[in-house]
Structure 1
Amino acid sequence: MTETTSDAPNAIDTDYEIGQDNIDGQLGPFGFDIHNPVFLISGLSIVAFVFYALALPEQAASIFGWLRPFLTSTFDWFFLLSANVFVLFCLALIFSPWGGVRLGGPDAKPDYSYAGWFAMLFAAGMGIGLMFFGVLEPAYYFGTPWGDEPLGVVRPFTEDGALIPENVGEARRMALAATSYHWALHPWAIYAVVALALALFSFNKGLPLSIRSAFYPIFGEKVWGWTGHIIDTLAVFATLFGLATSLGLGAQQANAGMNYVYGIPNNLTVQVILITVITAIALISVLRGLDGGVKVLSEINMVIALLLLLFVLFTAGAVPILGEFAKGVLAYTREVIPLSNPFGREDTGYMQGWTAFYWAWWISWSPFVGMFIARVSRGRTVREFLISVLVIPSLVSVLWMAVFGGSAINDMIANPETSAVMANVIETYSPELSLFAMLDSLPFSAVTSTIGIILVIVFFVTSSDSGSLVIDTITAGGKVDAPVPQRIFWCTFEGAVAIALLIGGGLNALQAMVISTGLPFTLVLLLMCWAILKGLMSEQR
């Protein structure tokens, strides 16, 4: 632990033993490490939810269908405003004197190289999302009017599908700007807030690696009681439903690819089988642990993803696409403030249907991704950590969208009447097919589509096993070596929740639950910013 300044209290360090005694669990039935009420409340609630969605799927589908539009239309301003706070908070810390604080103490050394660190970051943070939306989102914004065009969006096609050449450039620019907004600074700032809080209070203050630990400067000893139980339980719910949404999207996309390439039926039964099989594979990785399972799979997957990215880049035209990437970065820089405005907007379809959902999704993922990032970030300074987590992943995400989305847009421009992307993404809105429709316009489509399916599945596995390790840590009071039966329980029920949501409403159900759990956890993250400040004030710079 680092030393503290003479004028700052060090109660966090001196009271640690008391807190740890209060949160230690005990082995219960089936070898579970029962961490006070958190494991029982969250575990029983998830079991009850799965049985309800499976027993009454029509009723569940009706509720989910109402819940998502209600939440996004009512709280869209709150999600946008909160995400802006997280970005500004992280930028302020980068330039503050506290940026020199080292996570783990002045003499701490990084546990992983930059290459291994970034591989785990991407595989856990946005793998399935980039695969699912990498083609869909830029192509959708380009080919359809998204909202009431208050930001100068123009249509590149006439009502009968004919190209309007003079509108293509502006439509493409805004498509990349609007896509980049959802995948650059804002989501990574959300992850960074949680990761920084956990790393600071665990590595520097000696507290358990649990969400509640970040709130010790605010609530003191109450974090070991019901205040902490509520915080950790909300984190479990947010993480589980955020993961279930990603797993559901991954199953839909893998199934769509198998249908597109091999003619395997694209239906709920196949998707349930996929989730079951992949959850079983994830169990093996979970049992191997962080270094033997998640890290190895993440690095393999990132190599395959890089190869696919390079293939699409060079076969679709590297020079023009890289030019569009540069234009996309400039467009994002220019439009990020108007797109971040939470008030007086007319483009409600974009703000509520896309942005509010995305922010809720990233927030619900933040306990999972944040804890995962924290565990592999010891030894970095606050400034190094925030720059790395914010800037580098943002640029890579924008590059991914520019390459895959840019290739799809090129096909739409060149072949407006026969484009498979146009037909599957715009006309019939089949987002799970968008990647494979784009690859179909390039050489060796059968091979690359198969690689795409493998990528989705492995991203599926890394998300599942990483998430179960994190939930396991939260419910075990911050322990990173919780009993094996408990890891199996959470990994199994991640898959079960994804299946229940698919049966109980499909995409609407997945999105409704991620928003409903992301909403209360947004308040947790806002409070966490204040806790980070209080924690940094007691650190020697």
Structure 2
Amino acid sequence: MSDNQGIPDPEGAANLIDTEYEIGQDNIETSVGPFSLDIHNPVFLVSGLTIVAFVFLTLAFQTEVGPMFDHLRKWLTSNLDWFFIISGNVFVLVCLALIVTPLGNVRIGGKDAEPDYTYFGWFAMLFAAGMGIGLMFFGVLEPVYHMAFSEPIGVPKPFDADGNIIPENVAAAKAMGMAATIFHWGLHPWAIYAVVALALAIFSFNKGLPLTMRSVFYPIFGERTWGWPGHVIDILAVFATLFGLATSLGFGAQQANAGLDFVFGIPVSTTAQVVLIIGITGVALVSVLRGLDGGVKVLSEINMLIAALLLVFVIAAGPTATLVSDFFSNIIAYGREIVPLSMPFGREDDSFRQGWTSFYWAWWISWSPFVGMFIARVSRGRTVREFIVCVLIIPTIVSVIWMTAFGGTAIEQVLASNDSQVHEYVIASYSPELSLFGMLADLPMASITSFIAIILVIVFFVTSSDSGSLVIDTITAGGKVDAPVPQRVFWCTFEGLVAIALLLGGGLGALQAMAVSTGFPFTIVLLLACYAIFKGLADEPR
């Protein structure tokens, strides 16, 4: 198997994989012309033309599509919340089973495979791609919100009607606020990513199949994997990835715009956010052209260092002793509440389950083809057990540290004074994109740290965009990881255009609606992938 192609050589591959796994090579079509295209027909054509039409129609009928997107999001999250929540639980259980069973001894890439990246480079890439923008946007917002409005999830509010603190309710509300936040950023989302990444890695590096979603389903569909069943799976993966990314880019643009207004007085407006998306997409294009090692890896490592510096500053400048103590109590609260929060029925918390959890699970699932394929590409040489532990457990711990530092500092500010800026932006006026900057404003060197936060949001924005472009290009090129440059440019450009179209056609609600609507059918794909993983690992040497 060629290391730089990602598609096995039909003759040499027979020595590397089981004979039952055969490649439908006749479906990989090459078209070389003035633009040097190398595409997998019809996946590229169907998904590409559909996305172009979607952007055109959304921009042409902005007034009409806004209410439609809003209705779609509400219907999906209110009627299918049970399905998303149960599926999320299944993914966690599958990952835990792989850690404790002998299947965890299988090595990705074969018995003699060596890791391509150091632990630091590996963690940096998977974490920056996985949820960088989300941690920046929700790191302050969500802990404070759930703490202040904790009544729907079973704990009395810490404030009375006049905004005065009710001392006897504070500890329980604070614990529940952090537990609910960690629930959304802990084991469940990373289990979703791990299932997709492991499935792709095993069937590509161990079975010699193309690095694309359809390959995972060879044990289920057999040779039909290379026909229309496989085409549909890959097209769904493209749509899920593109709209999941567009949601994150919309969050990133809103937060970057809010930060620029907070620091430099640049007004918050849709126009400013569109300009930001265009500019950052341009930077992402440069990174895409440089490739995985020359662009994405370098930016991811830079981002991790900046994020680590900001994290250390918040811990040092905030209530340090309280944060250290809260880290352990937050893990305990998460462990205590994870089962009740995972229940799809039986609690009077529809607003939490439908407004937060079901959207989050759909959003993570829509991101999973992108993040999963990206993690798979950089994970060769790890054992399944090592892979699951590192992709599931370690990022969860890092998320707990992040949420404890940023959310815990913000909670202490809110409890100390109703005049804090976090109180204003989260509880009083609800301006979520300003919550991070409100927390930083009450710490030393606010102008400097706020500017660093803006840079961090933008670089996370870029790493998500360029990583996503490389992944979509791989899917639409039939698994090739070095498809021609014009195709990378096409997908990177249209990621930005989709985010702009949704922002103009319905704002944040439209972005969320498309993430949920593409996440739903792909959830079914992932549930089938769980079976395929066990089937594929069962005949691997351990």
Please indicate, yes or no, whether the TM-score normalized by the shorter chain is above 0.5: yes
1:439-454 aligned within 5 A: 439-454=440-455
Deviation of the 1:113 alpha carbon: 0.7
Letter in 2 for 1:495: G
Partner of 1:54: 59
Counterpart selection for 1:217 from 216, 219, 232: 219
Distance 1:458 1:484 in 2: 22
Shift in Å at residue 145 of structure 1? 3.9
For 1:498 and 1:45, locate their aligned partners in 2 and report how far apart those are by CA, in whole Å: 15
- Secondary structure of the 1:380 match is coil
Q: Quote how far apart the aligned CAs of 1:12 are.
A: 6.6
Q: CA deviation at 1:14?
A: 2.7
Partner of 1:163: 165
Q: Distance in 2 between matches of 1:115 and 1:371?
A: 19
Q: Which residue of 1 aligns with 2:332?
A: 330
Aligned mate of 1:103, from 88, 101, 108? 108
For the 8 Å contact 2:109–2:205, the answer to whether it is kept is yes
Aligned partners of 1:20 and 1:208 also within 8 Å: no
> Within 5 A, what are the aligned runs for 1:386-397?
386-397=388-399
Secondary structure of the 1:284 match is helix
Q: What is the CA–CA distance in structure 1 between the aligned matches of 2:214 and 2:151, rounded to whole Å?
A: 40
Residue 429 (structure 2) pairs with residue 428 (structure 1): yes
Code of the residue aligned with 1:142 in structure 2: it is M
Aligned residue type for 1:68: R
Distance (Å, rounded) in 2 between the aligned partners of 1:232 and 1:453: 35
> Aligned residue for 2:487?
486
Q: Conserved in 1, the CA contact under 8 Å of 2:359 and 2:512?
A: yes
Query: C-alpha distance in 1, partners of 2:168/2:218?
Result: 58
Q: Which amino acid aligns with 1:449?
A: S
Contact 1:25/1:477, CA 8 A, preserved across alignment: no
Note the C-alpha offset of 1:32: 2.4
Aligned equivalents of 1:463, 1:308: Cα separation in 2: 20
Tell me if structure 2 keeps the 8 A contact 1:297–1:458: yes
Q: Say if 1:112 and 1:248 are closer, same or farther in 2 by CA, change over 3 A.
A: same
Residue correspondence of structure 1 range 256-405 to structure 2 within 5 A? 256-405=258-407
1:228 aligns with 2:234: no
- Check the 8 A contact 1:76/1:351 in 2, yes or no: yes
The answer for the alignment partner of 1:472 in structure 2 is 473
Distance 2:381 2:217 in 1: 22
Secondary structure of the residue that 1:379 maps to in structure 2?
coil
Q: Residue deviations 1:273-296, cap 9 Å, x none?
A: 000000000000000000000000
- Which position in structure 1 is the counterpart of 2:76? 71
Encode CA deviations 1:208-227: one digit per residue, 9 max, x unaligned. Answer: 10000011111111111001
**2-side partners of 1:433 and 1:344: how far apart?**
35
In structure 1, the residue matched to 2:5 is none
Q: How big is each residue's C-alpha offset from its partner over 1:221-269, in whole Å with a ceiling of 9 and x where there is no partner?
A: 1111001000000000000000000001000000000001110010000
Please name the residue that 1:93 is paired with.
Answer: 98
Query: 2:188 maps to which residue?
Result: 186
Residue number in structure 2 paired with 1:40: 45
Q: Is contact 1:476-1:482 (8 Å) kept?
A: yes
**Paired residue type of 2:55:** V
Q: Post-superposition shift, 1:166?
A: 1.7
Q: Secondary structure at the match of 1:424?
A: helix
Deviation at 1:63, TM superposition (A): 0.5
Change in Cα spacing, 1:202 to 1:18, as seen in structure 2 (3 Å) is closer
CA distance 1:38–1:146, shift in 2 (3 Å): farther
Alignment correspondent of 1:242: 244
Distance in 1 (alpha carbons) for counterparts of 2:29 and 2:535: 25
Alignment partners' CA distance in 2, 1:60 and 1:146: 34
Q: CA deviation at 1:18?
A: 4.3
Corresponding letter in the other structure for 1:34: I
| Partner SS state of residue 14, structure 1 | coil
Q: Does 1:26 align with 2:31?
A: yes
Moved more, 394-403 or 12-21: 12-21
Q: Is the 8 A contact 1:146 1:350 kept in 2?
A: no
- Following superposition, the deviation at residue 345 of structure 1 comes to 2.4
Native 8 Å contact 1:10 1:538 kept in 2: no
Q: Is the contact made by 1:12 and 1:217 (CA closer than 8 Å) also made in structure 2?
A: no
2: CA distance between counterparts of 1:18 and 1:188?
Answer: 30
Q: Deviations over 1:471-499 (max 9, x none)?
A: 00000000000000000000000000000
Aligned to 1:71, what secondary structure does the other structure show? helix
Residue deviations 1:285-340 (CA, integer Å, cap 9, x gap): 00000000000000000000000000000110221111111111000000000000
Q: CA shift at 1:10, angstroms? A: 11
Moved more, 14-23 or 272-281: 14-23
- The two structures have a TM-score, normalised by structure 2, of 0.96
User: Cα RMSD (Å) of the superposition?
Assistant: 1.4
Give the alignment partner of residue 132 of structure 2, picking from 123, 127, 132: 127
Instruction: Indicate the residue corresponding to 1:6 in structure 2.
Output: none
Kept in 1, the 8 Å contact 2:145–2:426? The answer is yes
Gaps of 5+ in 1: 2-8
Aligned residues: 530
Residue segments in structure 2 that go unaligned for 5+ positions in a row: 2-13
Amino acid at match of 1:511: Q
Is the Cα–Cα contact under 8 Å of residues 143 and 422 in structure 1 kept in the other structure? no
The residue that corresponds to 1:517 in the other structure is 518
- Aligned identity (percent) is 69
Letter in 1 for 2:39: I
Residue 87 of structure 2 aligns with which residue?
82
Contact 2:39 2:478 in 1 (8 A): no
- 8 Å CA contact retained: 2:115, 2:382: yes
Q: In the alignment, what sits opposite 2:6?
A: none
CA separation in 2, counterparts of 1:78 and 1:23? 35
Q: Is the 8 A contact 2:219 2:532 kept in 1?
A: yes
Asked whether the 8 Å contact 2:150–2:177 carries over to 1, the reply is: no
